[in-house]
Structure 1
């Protein structure tokens, strides 16, 4: 008889990209894209993120399904651009990627932490946003291998 971890390892862990965006400058407007280049130790082309191997926030990701949850809690629609995330993915639990590497399109990324809501989010989007986003903020990642990421690309967990 197989153990639960063995059974879970057999379940395909895939999702797909629903939205891509970058900010050319800090606090600037998000630019929605159909594709973006992920660069090793530098993040996404056109994004203001600080490059370097120690930067744990080269790429931010949010789970597409969590947008509906936060929108329902706020009684208004939220987009990934509102939440300042680079990539929105559907069909995979981002929190299951803790300490894991995963491919999106041609790029290989590694989870580095959680995206917690901040006070600036509440200032920009109004009262209640901070509480609505708790537990729904997504993850941060760094680029291990560069490559192109496109809308609808698969998100695949790498074997441990």
Structure 2
């Protein structure tokens, strides 16, 4: 029988990028893209994210499977679209929370998890009453780019090594 540390250390699932999006400026609508470049410590090309090693929120990811859950919690007949939740990457097939405290590869790029992507009041204002509560626990993760590269829709998402020194205190 495996111990809890052994179970946490192994992430055998390999996910897949289902959606990519950027916002050229704060508050602008999301633009879906087929391919995007991630830049070391700077986020995604074309996204408004502030560059720099201290920016723990360079890229945001959401679990594709959670779009249907949040839609159902809001009483909708269909899943939400990733663009409505303003996340950069929607991933299917791997539990994003299993990437806590880890580095992971998407396409050519390598990221490290920096924290949870909590819902905000802006979502409630934009999508309607109850959105904040529906999103709790389903908001995804934030990440920092540690190796730049090209990411495409359909690329694999694979867990790598644990982060040895957690500098953000959030992951």
TM-score per shorter chain, which class?
A: over 0.9
Moved more, 10-19 or 112-121: 10-19
Report the number of matched residues: 160
Unpaired runs of at least 5, structure 1: none
Show the counterpart of 1:70: 70
Equivalence for 2:107: 105
2:32 maps to what in 1? 32
Find the aligned partners of 1:62 and 1:126 in 2 and give their Cα distance. Answer: 20
Task: Work out which of the residue numbers 120, 123, 126 in structure 2 matches 1:121.
Answer: 123
CA RMSD between the two structures: 1.4
Runs of 4+ in 1 over 6 A off after TM superposition: none
| Deviation per residue, 1:26-67 (Å, 9 max, x gap) | 000100010100000110000000001110000000000000
TM-score, normalisation: structure 1: 0.95
Residue of structure 1 equivalent to 2:84: 82
**What runs of 5+ residues in structure 2 fail to find an aligned partner?**
163-171
TM-score (norm 2): 0.89
How far off its partner does 1:114 sit? Answer: 0.6
Secondary structure in 1 matching 2:125: helix
> Cα 1:9–1:53, aligned 2, differ >3 Å: closer, same or farther?
closer
